[in-house]
Chain A
Amino acid sequence: MSALTGLVRHDGRAGIRNHVLVLPSVVCSTHAASEIASAAGAVAITHQHGCLHVGDDLRHTEQAFLGTATNPNVGAVVVVSLGCETLNGKLLADRIAQTGQTIELIGVQHSGGTARAIQDGLAACARLSAALDALTPEPIDPSAVTVGIDDASDALAGPLREALEARGLRVALADDVTGPEAHVELACQGSQLIVSLPGEFEGPTGFPVCPVVAVGRDVDLHRALADDFDVHEEAASHGELAQRVADRVLTAAAGEPTASERRGARDFVLRRLAVTM
């Protein structure tokens, strides 16, 4: 088994991926963000949020963006603001910067429209990528990697936790959400890798900044979607399956792309707390 390497960040945490994240603070700037990311080889989040939130829902959404932007797999961030949104892009950028994360802020209104914002974003990505490319992966202990499990109520979660911990990895369990919504929360808490245990009638999803190791169970739909899963149950006991998942987690942590990464699945499904105004 190959030793793990990672990108050690300013706060000592280690990234198993080295993304420049282009983060739109509002749905209105998602197109500019996607154009920037695709031309720069960076990762963008496409989402429908950032405006006309109220109360806790606003703080929760801002926290989700902040947490994703400061995940250890993210080496640097370009926040793309529109300029008039409820979730203030400048304040979000300030909060991200306060964590010590490397960040640049682009505003579509500030730059003078989409075309100039894309130019400014590409220049920012070029500066940030140059700095990230200069980083050398260092050997890391498995305990530097936290694996998030997206369904704590699944009978596999317990054996899986044991198998992962036996390999020296840390484990986080999603609290009161499952599936894609749990991915956001796990990434925000610092998980660098997510193990997804989709329900019987669900297909696997990906996440923008974390590899997702999807576990297919012995149910018709999962067998039918075999290519989108990383590990298959194939009549294994929970103990055996947990061992195989944990081994696959290690290869993914060492850099081998997961099925979600191969197909470019970057779903960002945010749990909302209140209706949009």
Chain B
Amino acid sequence: MTVPALTGYRRPGGGWGVRNHVLVLPSRSAANAAAESIAEGLGGAVAVTHEWVGHPDDPDTELVTRTLVGFASNPNVAAVLLVAVTGEDRALAERIAAAGGMPVRVVTMADHGGTPGTVEAGRPVAAGLVADASGLEREPMPWSGLAVGLECGGSDALSGITANPALGLASDWLVAQGATTMLSEVPELVGAEEILAARAIDAQVARRMVQVVHDFERSVEALGVDIRGAQPTPGNIEGGLTTIEEKSLGAAKKAGNAPLTGVIGFAEAPGDPGLYVMDTPGHDIEQMVGLVAGGCNVIAFTTGRGTPTGSPIAPCLKISTNTAIFERMAGDIDLDAGRILDGTHTLASMGEQIRDAIVATANGALTASERRGNHEFAIRRTHYPERLVT
């Protein structure tokens, strides 16, 4: 076949965006209302809100800061308006600008008497950033500019048979062109770690692959809890999955058969193009934020139970594992891999359809969640003071 061409927005920091958003980012929760009001009704601008209070002695400060910096400097973001509470919060803007190279402006609530003045001052700044961004044009983008996160959410017994292996074929093809793909959700790789490790490009990556899964298992043991009910979820079980290992073996199929280039931490950026595993939780939104913060500019998301999820800044292409949910949730899901079951498609032809849809999405075609305006966001924390009693 002829390899299709990609287009995107070349960013000053060297990355390539497939979208051109102005992100209005509150530095902490006290700026949420101001950020939302600034972006309200302003096409081209998107605000996120979050539960980060920003206590300076919070042990998760570095993780959350890395997440916010990575997310805001994703190349799908043309420019950032940081809504800071205090002058100290401006340090976040400097880190974002250093990471992404894009324009970062700051409106500081303490300079404007609080929320009303901040909204008044911030709206023209955001409008100016949108005007500047709208002057940017797509240009031919190299395959190395594309990074696709591979997610599944609301898995069922068909996930490992239809949508996930079809996405795996698309992933293999993307990696062969020189793009990056990222598998994640370590809790849903329990039992599949040796299979992935066997494909590692070297012994160090193989060890790291096994290590992240074992570290997760040990952390669960330390909590002293039974994770059944959380993994697999009630919806997974209703969908026919029995154990986390069964779910994992299906989940890992999203990564196809490409060599495993690296294993990276939550919200960390990968190196050279290739297939990576990012250490994220299974939670759809914490995971998606981590992938986007690590530089993914497209998300491919398989679902059996059906979910409307989308990211504020990265197009999220959703693929159903079965036709019933695709038809039932019309308008929320982009592709139906259930057609493999009725013989309309083979795994190979569905893989090609997903591949083509990823390319079209990267080139600007809107996904269902973008049309709906889904923009879920979450802060990942790892420090908890109390031991669980169950």
A178 to chain B, nearest CB (A): 9
B330 touches A272 (CB 8 A): no
CA distance A27 to B30 in the complex (A): 20
Could you give, for residues 36-66 of chain A, a 1 whenever the CB lies within 8 Å of some chain B CB and a 0 otherwise? 0000000000111001111111100000000
Q: Cβ of A180 and Cβ of B53 under 8 Å apart? A: yes
Residue from the list B34, B51, B117, B284 in contact with A47, Cβ < 8 A: B51
Chain A residues with Cβ below 8 Å from B310 are 31
Question: Judging by beta carbons under 8 Å apart, are B381 and A272 in contact?
Answer: yes
Closest residue on chain B to residue A203 by CB atoms: B30
Contacts of A46 in B (CB 8 A): 49
Q: For the complex, what is the distance from the CA of A56 to the CA of B223, rounded to whole Å?
A: 11
Residues of B within 8 A of A166 (CB): none
B378 touching A48, Cβ below 8 Å: yes
**Is the CB–CB distance between B31 and A203 below 8 Å?**
yes
Q: Contact between B30 and A85 (Cβ–Cβ < 8 Å)?
A: no
Docked CA distance A275–B388 (Å): 11
Return the chain A residue nearest B390 by Cβ.
A55
Q: Which residues of A contact B330 (CB under 8 A)?
A: 112-113
Q: Are B33 and A263 in contact (CB under 8 A)?
A: yes
A82 to B154, CA, bound (A): 10
Chain A CB within 8 A of B219 CB:
yes
Q: Is B331 an interface residue (CB 8 A)?
A: yes
B interface, over-half SS: loop
Assess whether B286 is in contact with A48, with CB atoms less than 8 Å apart.
Answer: yes
A277 to B328, Cβ gap below 8 A? no
CB atoms of A275 and B113 under 8 A apart: no
Please measure, in the bound complex, the distance between the C-alpha atom of A29 and the C-alpha atom of B285, giving whole angstroms: 11
Selecting from A5-13, A71-79, A223-231, A244-252, the interface stretch reads A223-231
A71-103 interface mask toward B, CB cutoff 8 Å, 1 = contact, 0 = none?
Answer: 000000000001111101000000000000000
CA distance A108 to B34 in the complex (A): 29
- Asked if B233 contacts A51 (CB within 8 A), the reply is yes
Contact status of A52 and B110, CB under 8 A, knowing A27-B376, A83-B235, A269-B29: no
Interface residues of A in 214-240 (CB under 8 A from B): 220-221, 224-229
> Does chain B have a CB within 8 A of A28?
yes
**A148 lies within 8 A of chain B by Cβ:** no
B230–A225 contact, CB under 8 A?
A: no
CB of A223, distance to nearest CB on chain B (Å): 9
A: interface residue count bin: 35 or more
* CA gap between A83 and B308 in the complex, in Å: 12
Q: Known contacts being A32-B308, A48-B286, A113-B306, is A55 close to B223, with CB within 8 Å?
A: yes
Classify chain B: how many residues form its interface, as a range: 35 or more
**Pairwise interchain contact B332-A113, C-beta atoms closer than 8 A:** yes
User: Are A28 and B328 in contact (CB-based, < 8 A)?
Assistant: no
19 A-B residue contacts at CB 8 Å?
A28-B153, A31-B308, A31-B372, A48-B376, A55-B225, A56-B390, A84-B234, A85-B235, A86-B233, A108-B306, A108-B307, A180-B29, A225-B85, A272-B381, A272-B384, A274-B384, A275-B219, A275-B381, A277-B231
In the complex, B20 has a CB within 8 A of chain A: no
Inter-chain CA distance A272–B382, complex, in Å, is: 10
Q: Which of B34, B239, B281, B373 contacts A276 (CB 8 A)?
A: B281
Q: How far is the CA of A186 from the CA of B40 in the complex (A)?
A: 30
Determine whether B116 belongs to the interface, using a CB cutoff of 8 Å to chain A: yes
Q: How far is the CA of A269 from the CA of B49 in the complex (A)?
A: 11
Which residue of A is nearest B372, CB measured? A114
Give every chain A residue within 8 A of B114 (Cβ-Cβ). 225-229, 259, 263
Contact B230 A54, beta carbon cutoff 8 Å: yes
User: Given A31-B373, A228-B114, do A83 and B306 touch, yes or no (CB 8 Å)?
Assistant: yes
Residue from B49, B50, B388 within 8 A of A54 (CB atoms): B388
B177 at interface, CB cutoff 8 A: no
**Binary contact track B105-117/A, C-beta < 8 Å → 1, others 0:** 0000111011111
Please report the C-alpha to C-alpha distance between residue A29 and residue B305 in the assembled complex, in whole angstroms: 13
A84 with B239: CB separation less than 8 A = yes
* CB atoms of A48 and B32 under 8 A apart: no
Q: Contacts A31-B372, A54-B225, A277-B283: A264 and B305 contacting too (C-beta < 8 A)?
A: no
